[in-house]
Amino acid sequence: MTTFIIIRGNSGSGKTTLAQALHDQCDNSFLISQDIVRRQMLQVDDHAGNLAINLMAELIDFGRLHVDIVILEGILRQDVYQEMLQSALKKFDVVIPVYYDLTLPETINRHRTKKFVSFTESDVAKWYRKKDYLGLSNGIIFNQTTTLKQAIAVIMQRINHQ
């Protein structure tokens, strides 16, 4: 049985930190970061039809065939990635969708705590999307009061009760 964890939200919301913590805690897991695929590996803009969409789909399939838990994290805008994500969801036994629903001020505050960033607060504001949900009934929504420890506990409970 393969589990697919999708962690989405605006820039600076805590997606990468949560994904890395889960990856460290879960044996036989595979972590895919949208930023690494899109910005570092392919250096493409985030728009419909970009090359990163197909590569992430291939990486998701690879993970599905070779590990117990696939973790995908990124902003993963609904208007750009919905079709790819919906297709991927159908291939997994267990899906745990997570969305960080933070206000713009909180998103900017969290951005300020990052050590190494290649974009500005005005970029974060420009990219911000309010309530960019995928519309999945079993989704987990975290807000600005959710700690990393709480988020890990909620997801691990879902993993362990599948």
User: Is residue 118 pLDDT above 80, yes or no?
Assistant: no
d(CA 26, CA 16): 15
- 18, 73 Cβ separation under 8 angstroms: yes
pLDDT digits (tens, 9 = 90+) for 46-103: 999 999 999 999 999 999 999 999 999 999 999 999 999 999 999 999 999 999 999 9
Domains of the chain: 3-160 (3.40.50.300)
pLDDT for residue 102: 95
Q: What element of type H or E holds 122? A: helix 121-127
Quote the percentage of the chain above a pLDDT of 70.
99
The average pLDDT across 7-19 equals 93
The whole model's pTM is what? 0.94
Query: Residue 97 phi/psi, 5° resolution?
Result: -85, 130
Quote the percentage of the chain above a pLDDT of 90.
80
Across the chain, mean pLDDT equals 94
